[in-house]
Amino acid sequence: MSEIVRYEHTDGVAVVTLNRPDAMNSFTSQLSFDLLDALEKAHHDDSIRVVVLTGEGRCFSAGADLKTGLEGRRVYGKLQYEYRPVMTAVASMPKPVIAAVPGSAAGIGLSLALTCDLLIMADDAFLLSPFTTISLVPDGGLNWLLVRQLGYRRAFQLSIESERIDAERCVQLGLANKVVPAEELQTAAREWAVTLVKRAPLSLAATKKVMRLAMDHDWESCFNAEAELQQSLVGCPDNLEGVKAFFEKRAPEFKGQKD
C-alpha cells in the first residue's frame, strides 16, 4: 500500500481510508490495487473483527478519476480487473464492513459504499449515480445493488435522473443504516464497529454469508445453507461460551475459534 490508502487498526477494528482528498478520493488504478491490498490484509488478520471503510476529506469518493481517461479499450479491463476484485473482497470477507460516508459517494464510490455490509452517513452527505450526465451506464455492480435494494422502478428513476439522494432519504430507502452529524461521523463509525467486535465473529461471518446468498438465491438454497452453517457452529467453543454466559448473566468472551 501507498499513502493513497491508509490502514490503521486497534481493538479489533481496521480503518481503511481512501486518501486522495485533493482529488475527492477518486479512483485510479493504484488506488484500486492499494485498496484491495488493505482489504485482503484485514481479511487475513485474525485480530481484526470489523472493518470501517471511509474517505479522507470532504467526501467518500467521487468515483473514477476522469483525468486519467476512460478509453473504451481500457474500461472493460478496469472494471473486471481493478474494480471487481475490490467489490468481491468486501463481499467475501467473513467480517462486517462498515462504509462511513462523509460528503458524498458517487459513481464507483457509490458502488463501493453500497457493496459494504453496513452504511453510516454524515447528515450533510449524499449518494449519486451520475452516469447519465456523461453518457455512461452505472457500473461496478451498481445496477444489481440498486435494483435489489430499491426495486426496478425506483432504482431506474434515481439513476437516469442522476438525483442526489440525501442522507435522511437514504435511511428511508434502506440504502443507509444511520445518519449522524458530520463532525461525529468517524467517531460514530468506530464506536459502532467496537460494539460489533464484541459479537460472536463466527456468527457474524455465517450470517453475512447466508444473507448475501439470500440476495440472489431461492428459499430452499438459503434454508439448506442455514442448516449447514448451524451444524458447523453448534457445540463450538464460542457457542458454548455464549450459552454459558447467558445463564451466568455476564458478557460472553468470544475467541472466534470453531475447535
Write down the pLDDT at residue 2: 65
Residue 216 in grid coordinates: 440472489
pLDDT digits (tens, 9 = 90+) for 212-231: 999 999 999 999 999 999 99
In whole angstroms, what is the distance from residue 135 CA to residue 250 CA?
A: 57
Is residue 233 within a helix (H) or strand (E), and if so which, with residue range?
helix 219-233
The strand order across the sheet containing 178-180 reads 5-10, 13-18, 50-55, 97-101, 118-122, 178-180
Name the band, by pLDDT with cuts 50, 70 and 90, for residue 67: confident
In whole angstroms, what is the distance from residue 68 CA to residue 76 CA?
A: 15
Write down the pLDDT at residue 259: 73
Share in percent of the chain as helix, strand, coil (round to 5): 55, 15, 30
Instruction: Work out the mean pLDDT of the chain and round it to a whole number.
Output: 94
Residue 31 in grid coordinates: 488506488
CB-CB neighbours of 216 under 10 Å: 9
- Report percent pLDDT > 70 for the chain: 97
Answer yes or no: are the C-beta atoms of 121 and 101 closer than 8 Å.
yes
Of 15 and 74, which is predicted with more confidence?
15
Q: What is the average per-residue pLDDT within 80-95?
A: 97
Q: Which CATH superfamily is domain 5-197 in?
A: 2-enoyl-CoA Hydratase; Chain A, domain 1 (3.90.226.10)
Answer yes or no: are the C-beta atoms of 226 and 233 closer than 8 Å.
no
**Nearest one of 121, 122, 118 to 95, comparing CA atoms:** 118
In whole angstroms, what is the distance from residue 248 CA to residue 251 CA?
A: 9
Write down the pLDDT at residue 42: 98
Q: ∠213-219-220 over CA atoms, to 5°?
A: 100
Q: What are the extents of the domains in the chain?
A: 5-197, 201-248
Q: What is the average per-residue pLDDT within 70-93?
A: 89
Cα within 13 Å of Cα(200), Cβ side: 18
Q: What is the average per-residue pLDDT within 48-74?
A: 86
**Nearest one of 99, 106, 102, 111 to 39, comparing CA atoms:** 99
Answer yes or no: are the C-beta atoms of 129 and 162 closer than 8 Å.
yes
pLDDT digits (tens, 9 = 90+) for 180-198: 999 999 999 999 999 999 9
Q: What is the average per-residue pLDDT within 42-54?
A: 97
Q: Which residues contact 248 (CB under 8 A, 6 or more apart)?
A: none
pLDDT digits (tens, 9 = 90+) for 166-182: 999 999 999 999 999 99
Write down the pLDDT at residue 66: 80
